[in-house]
Amino acid sequence: MIELPQMTHPLSRGWSQPPADQMAVYDDIAIMDQSTLALLPEYSTTIPTGAYEGKMWRRANGPDNWLLCWYGPSEKPDMVSINRRPIRLIRDEKEQ
């Protein structure tokens, strides 16, 4: 499982996203429930400004398909990487 970076940048105070422990992210997929997906801001045609490590969003990847995207560390100083994984939705615990 991949450990997502924490948001520590001062600008992160103005960004709302679900806690990383509400999802499981692996090398090839991210697993979460519908309520967690709904908490991710949607940026399907652009990327969010204010690029800092740990910032997450969702991106449409075809009908009813989503990607989890996040800014991560980069080998280049003062830069971030853009990472993405297809999302597999599981049933909300509240629905079970």
Q: Report the 3 state secondary structure along 11-78.
A: HHHHCCCCCHHHCEECCCCEEEEHHHHHHCCECCCCCCCCCCCCCEEEEECCCCCEEEEEEEECCCCC
For the chain, the C-alpha Rg in angstroms (whole number) is: 13
pLDDT of 91: 85
What is the C-alpha separation between 3 and 50, in angstroms, rounded? 21
| Alpha-carbon torsion, ordered 61, 25, 88, 74, to 10 deg | 0
Rounded average pLDDT per 10-residue block, the chain, 96 residues: 95 96 98 98 97 98 95 96 98 66
pLDDT of 60: 98
What is the C-alpha separation between 61 and 47, in angstroms, rounded? 14
